[in-house]
Structure 1
């Protein structure tokens, strides 16, 4: 015979509670038909685990219940080699013995002492899962430990753990808890939804897991704005894909759409995503700001240029509640790199067209691109030369204008001046280095004496 008793468990599972004693009862049955058996219970860590009856006698064919109790501890002990309960037994023909006799009996190994079982001790339950969340690198068998503890948790506990697992970006535990029955749509009054928690955590995998679990969306407005606030385009894509009812034109408490938020963050990709999803880039918030205002205030050139080139956008000159355009906000915040895109380029062209030297100088001082082009490829110098505004031409050249800039048809400012018969302007351009042939200049009826003077200053190609 290799054993005298039998246990009704193969593992001792203690439901862990922080700073409390944890207890578990189990039964031991005497397998002998006609003889009592002495039993010894011990553990590999006697300082942590105790028994109510470490030494006892079981009558023949009888069963006795024992209780193991753990010492209070802050955190559960989890290791690859768990502690164990060691069960030893010995036949006791007399059926009677004092405790000291039993202690002496099991203190010395011999043929009369049987080692009936070694039962592992483990902690389990809600607080064990809570302890394990986010600690996967420390516990290679974490999935096993989580799944073993799940049956000891009720739905409310599973849902609480789900929130912790989402915050911990622990996608495997999230999936395990959802499969076990955690309520993905539950939130205490005043709490964020679990989808919002996933956005806070910034885990793409966790967010996708929640969507695939059949999560009901009741606050898609907040979700879209929250993802935009975090400037996470990957999260925005998952939300727009996962929310068939998502409204990308929804507004927050300030009347701002997700496009406003993305523009303020400087994310061209996010602005493009929301517009492709049906977002309106022309929506104004409660203070009259368009997304362009938001981008201009922060100095985001990429978003400014994207919106200005977007066919759906027509709010370049919208004035907010403070009577400011997007250009006004850029100027207020000294974002000179935005001036040309927002307005100064247009103003500079207009000044060149009407001969407004003062306006032109003002634009140049504010940072306007002196070589900016209109839809035909004309620079302000083309326009001033064609109109014959000599002082404007002089100011533009002084501001660094390209004297030989060619438009889409290959025409330079000098050719524009010649075609319009602007002799004085053409002479000035030549004097400032514009490439030309004498034949072209003669065709403009420039007097011979003026051509002679030009030859003294420049080397003109002969006819």
Structure 2
């Protein structure tokens, strides 16, 4: 036998409380059947730890309880390696001893001194965990200390500390908390999930840990998509939508805004495109009647406006005050958006109605002279088909492409001849329009002489197919 006594614990845990003296108890048992044993207790850090009775006597096969005390401290006195209690023992044939006897007995090793026992000391409890999370970079061997400290926390305390760990932006701490049994499905006092807290830090690894551990989204409470869209974090949006959380891409906040509203308002094109690609509705309106296009137009986010125009059907939707996206862009001085939102349409309309003043006004405000409608027609196509000579002249003067080809292969000259407008046709040719067309079936080459002498005949023979108005 190499030991005389046996401790009842492998580790002594002290529940730390800031500013208070802490204590922990353990028992030692004399393993000898007939011999009394003397015991000496010391620690590796006597400035922090102490024993009310550092020396004691254990009769044969008896046990005794010992109390370890620590001095008051504002934060847990953690060290690496951990502090330990050293238990020294010696047989005491007389069965009794005075203080000087103990000191003499344990001052030097002798043949009656058996192998020492060592007991590690750990600080546990919520204040230790909180300290480790807040000062993790300054604490050696933080994960080992954390695992031990968590053992002194209740379920409710651990849930609150989990929130703190998520906000710490330290994925290792979060993983350690999960491994130690922290509930990832815990919600704060507002009902928000841990994923909502994780968005504040935006740590991708923490997101993955929480989702892999079963953290779920409540679409009626959590606004994780909205917050991810506000940060333009496509990576977080993607992992959320691919998780088992059954997230609703069109879920709304308290004023009925979706995540796509938020991305549009901030001009976050990457988030906008991804949300649209997974089914976000570009035409939904919030409480004041604003669609995502209203938000991006009001803020002057051109790229976002262009992206939304490719997906929305409510280009001219009006809000609660009767304003369109065009109106908001104009009010806020975003003239560069007006051609995209309405001026091009207005230019086409003025060209069709032979409204020379309207054409000039639209061009002066920035309408695109080569802007196309859904059929590929430019304003010059419109003017040529309607025989609007002056409108065509103004458009050509502003650089309208004379040989622009629409979706069916028609140039403005084709439109003028088809409609029998010789004056417009001659104007186009004078500006360089090619009189020999060959892109449409049934067309014959156009010549200046034929246009002068037989415009109506040419109009009938050039194309048998009816041109759209």
| Superposition TM-score, scaled by structure 1 size | 0.81
- State the Cα distance separating 1:150 from its structure 2 match: 3.3
Question: Do the aligned partners of 2:426 and 2:451 also contact (CA within 8 Å) in 1?
Answer: no
Residue deviations 1:54-109 (CA, integer Å, cap 9, x gap): 23343444433222112222333444422222222334444444424433443344
Task: Select between 214-223 and 52-61 the one with higher mean Cα deviation.
Answer: 214-223
SS in 2 for 1:6: strand
How many residues align structurally? 445
With over 3 angstroms needed to count, the CA separation of the structure-2 counterparts of 1:229 and 1:220, relative to structure 1, is: farther
Question: Do the aligned partners of 2:348 and 2:379 also contact (CA within 8 Å) in 1?
Answer: yes
Q: Any gaps of 5 or more consecutive residues in structure 1?
A: 448-463
Aligned residue for 1:46? 46
With over 3 angstroms needed to count, the CA separation of the structure-2 counterparts of 1:129 and 1:363, relative to structure 1, is: same
Query: 2:420 & 2:68 partners in 1: Cα distance?
Result: 109
Question: Is 1:442 aligned to residue 449 of structure 2?
Answer: yes
- State the Cα distance separating 1:202 from its structure 2 match: 3.0
Aligned residue for 2:21? 21
- State the Cα distance separating 1:231 from its structure 2 match: 3.7
- State the Cα distance separating 1:50 from its structure 2 match: 1.0
Query: 2:181 & 2:45 partners in 1: Cα distance?
Result: 36
Aligned pairs (5 A) from 1:257-272: 257-268=258-269, 270-271=271-272
Aligned residue for 1:287? 288
With over 3 angstroms needed to count, the CA separation of the structure-2 counterparts of 1:211 and 1:136, relative to structure 1, is: same
With over 3 angstroms needed to count, the CA separation of the structure-2 counterparts of 1:308 and 1:52, relative to structure 1, is: same
Question: Is 1:327 aligned to residue 326 of structure 2?
Answer: yes
Query: 2:186 & 2:352 partners in 1: Cα distance?
Result: 65
Aligned residue for 1:116? 116
Aligned residue for 1:256? 257
Residue deviations 1:347-386 (CA, integer Å, cap 9, x gap): 1111122222221222222221111122333322233234
Question: Do the aligned partners of 1:84 and 1:118 also contact (CA within 8 Å) in 2?
Answer: yes
With over 3 angstroms needed to count, the CA separation of the structure-2 counterparts of 1:273 and 1:399, relative to structure 1, is: same
Question: Is 1:66 aligned to residue 66 of structure 2?
Answer: yes
Query: 2:180 & 2:196 partners in 1: Cα distance?
Result: 22
- State the Cα distance separating 1:2 from its structure 2 match: 3.9
- State the Cα distance separating 1:193 from its structure 2 match: 3.7
Aligned pairs (5 A) from 1:15-414: 15-133=15-133, 142-171=142-171, 173-174=173-174, 177=177, 182-187=182-187, 189-190=189-190, 192-207=192-207, 209-211=209-211, 213=213, 218-220=218-220, 222-223=222-223, 224-242=225-243, 246-268=247-269, 270-271=271-272, 279-310=280-311, 313-414=312-413
Task: Select between 386-395 and 414-423 the one with higher mean Cα deviation.
Answer: 414-423
Task: Select between 277-286 and 115-124 the one with higher mean Cα deviation.
Answer: 277-286
Question: Do the aligned partners of 1:134 and 1:170 also contact (CA within 8 Å) in 2?
Answer: no
Aligned residue for 1:460? none
Aligned residue for 1:452? none
Residue deviations 1:293-324 (CA, integer Å, cap 9, x gap): 122112333443343333xx431112222332
Question: Do the aligned partners of 1:83 and 1:120 also contact (CA within 8 Å) in 2?
Answer: yes
Query: 2:264 & 2:113 partners in 1: Cα distance?
Result: 80
Query: 1:28 & 1:439 partners in 2: Cα distance?
Result: 114
- State the Cα distance separating 1:325 from its structure 2 match: 1.0
Task: Select between 348-357 and 267-276 the one with higher mean Cα deviation.
Answer: 267-276
Tell me the C-alpha RMSD between the 2 structures: 3.6
Query: 2:61 & 2:313 partners in 1: Cα distance?
Result: 92
Question: Do the aligned partners of 1:220 and 1:246 also contact (CA within 8 Å) in 2?
Answer: no
Question: Do the aligned partners of 2:219 and 2:248 also contact (CA within 8 Å) in 1?
Answer: no
Aligned residue for 2:466? none
Task: Select between 240-249 and 57-66 the one with higher mean Cα deviation.
Answer: 240-249
Aligned residue for 1:454? none
SS in 1 for 2:373: coil
Task: Select between 393-402 and 362-371 the one with higher mean Cα deviation.
Answer: 393-402
Question: Do the aligned partners of 2:37 and 2:91 also contact (CA within 8 Å) in 1?
Answer: yes
Query: 2:407 & 2:228 partners in 1: Cα distance?
Result: 43
- State the Cα distance separating 1:42 from its structure 2 match: 1.7
SS in 1 for 2:151: helix
Q: Any gaps of 5 or more consecutive residues in structure 2?
A: 437-444, 455-469
SS in 2 for 1:403: coil
